[in-house]
Structure formats: structure tokens, C-alpha cells
Structure 1
Amino acid sequence: GRFDSVLFTRFLNTPESPYRRLLDWHGCAEPPDTDIAPELADLVRPGCAYAKPGFTGIPDDLAARLREESPEEVVVVGIDTDMCVLKVAMDVFDLGITPVVLVDCCASTGGLQAHLAGLATLARNIGADQLRTTGLDEGYRGRPPAADAKPEAVIDDLSSPTPTG
């Protein structure tokens, strides 16, 4: 298929995390905050989810897997564009692998401005040619889907750059 491996990362705010020690932020420490999004949970295969304890994009075990598999490119999607997506894409770049960020499958809990800032930073650091679109951004945008809407239109709501929840 198009993708040999579909891998997931999730941030874990561990007790020794600088987020707790320096910022007194205790989010993403336990379920449900640390769970893979319910809409994606059925897609996770054994050995394909990696924990990120801190501001690393790619933990050591995932970096080792990528070195072993030697993909030509890694497609990156997710939340937050200006934090996790940015760091994962830059770490992939540092491994010598082409990162491809699907901008319409990313968003930021910091809002549209944070999302766009993340994309601007990525364009400068990994190259604007690595920022691509699936075309989903032409779909559902806060309107109820039409009765005959394609599934892609509903999926787009999950990656809206202005999340509501």
C-alpha cells in the first residue's frame, strides 16, 4: 500500500517532566489525555504506538525503527502543529529522512495563529515543498455535512485549524 507503516506518537507528561517542574503544567499525565484519539484507536497496531516523555518528537525506540526501515519519506499529521507536529517533522529531517507535513491534517489547540506559526517555522526549517495538502481543507468547515457527503468531508472536521473542543 501507500504506507508500509502507520506509526503513532503520544505525549506523556511524566512526574519528572520539565512541564511539571518548570511550568507547573500537569496535563497529559494520565488517561484520557494520554490516549490515542478515539477516532484513530482502531488503526493502532501492536508495536506501532510510541510514547514521547518530554519535548522530543521521536523517542529513541522510534528513531531506531526509522533508521532500520529507512523510509524515503515520513508523512506527519496531528495536533499541535506548532509543537508536536513541528518537533516530529524536524526530528525526521534530522534523521536524514524527508518529512512531509499534510497541513490540512494538522491543527493547534492554540488556534489558527499558532497553527500558521508552526507551518511558517516548518517551511523555514524543513522546506516549504515538504508542506502539502490532501485537499481535505476544501470540505466540511463547521457546517453539517450534506446527506450525500463523502466520508472525507466529515474526517476534515477532526483536523480543523480552529478546534472547538
Structure 2
Amino acid sequence: MRVVLQRVTSAAVTIKETGDRRSIGPGLAVLLGVGHGDDAGDVDYLVQKVTSLRIFADEHGKMNLSLEDVQGQMLIVSQFTLLGDTRKGKRPSFTDAAPPAIAIPLYERFVAQVQARGVTARTGEFGADMSVEITNDGPVTLIIESPPKTNTEQKKEERVSERL
């Protein structure tokens, strides 16, 4: 699972088909990509990481406060293109991105866990064409990935997926 995280003064997403606009004030814009092999453990790790990462300035101007500390908001947008592979040819391959049947529940779990931590969250719409406006603060932009699976975890996942 991969996240591009940006500290923002404001951010918004507009669903192109409906014109529905969802916005936040100061906080984080999170672009979330779900890959094959990602599971609830990856969600748990990333939610804890993005909500507690100390990337907001304290009274001395030092990055020492988390989103939770500053009571910031979060805009969460699903983005399978974060898993794009550009190593071959001129067109990215998205075969590393999880299919919607796997990605949607994990995306929804991410949103629910962020909200359960008391963070006001707004979201895009999974699979929709959207316009995203981000006013980056700093700028501060980080790419965070869930930890790689061990061989034992990978084999266990393969056995589970074979049963499905």
C-alpha cells in the first residue's frame, strides 16, 4: 500500500460526473494506492503513521506536531496510478494495483479508521474521475509505503488467495 501525503492549507476534490465538491482546511491530503497483497495490517500501519507523523510546526517552528495534535483535517483520495510501473515502454502498467473487489474495502477501512481517531475526513469517490485541488504547505510531501511482507506472510497470503 502506498500513500502520497501532503501537508496542506486547504484541499478539495470534485467528482466530475456529479459536480459534488468536498473540501478541507489545514491538514493533510492523502492519495492512497492499494496493491496486490495489501491487507488490513497495511491499513492499520498507514493510518497510525499518517495521523501521528510529526510534520506540523510547533511554537518554535520545528516539525514536532502531528495531525492529531493540531486537530487538522484529512482529504483522502483513492489513486490506483500510484502503483504504476513505468520501467518498460512508454505507457505505465497498473498490474500491481489491486482490483476494486480488494481495494474498495481497504480504502473504506482506511477512511473509517482515520475518522475513528477523531480526524475530520473528506473523501473522493473510488473509481470516479475527479479534480483534486491541493494547496501544499511548506511544501511538505512524503511518500509512505506499508512495510514489505516477510516470506512467511507472503506464502500465507498466497494460500488464502488460492482458496478464494
Tell me the TM-score normalised to structure 2 length: 0.28
Q: Higher relative contact order at CA 8 Å, sep ≥6: structure 1 or structure 2?
A: 2
Give the alignment's TM-score, normalised by structure 1: 0.27
| Larger strand fraction of residues | 2
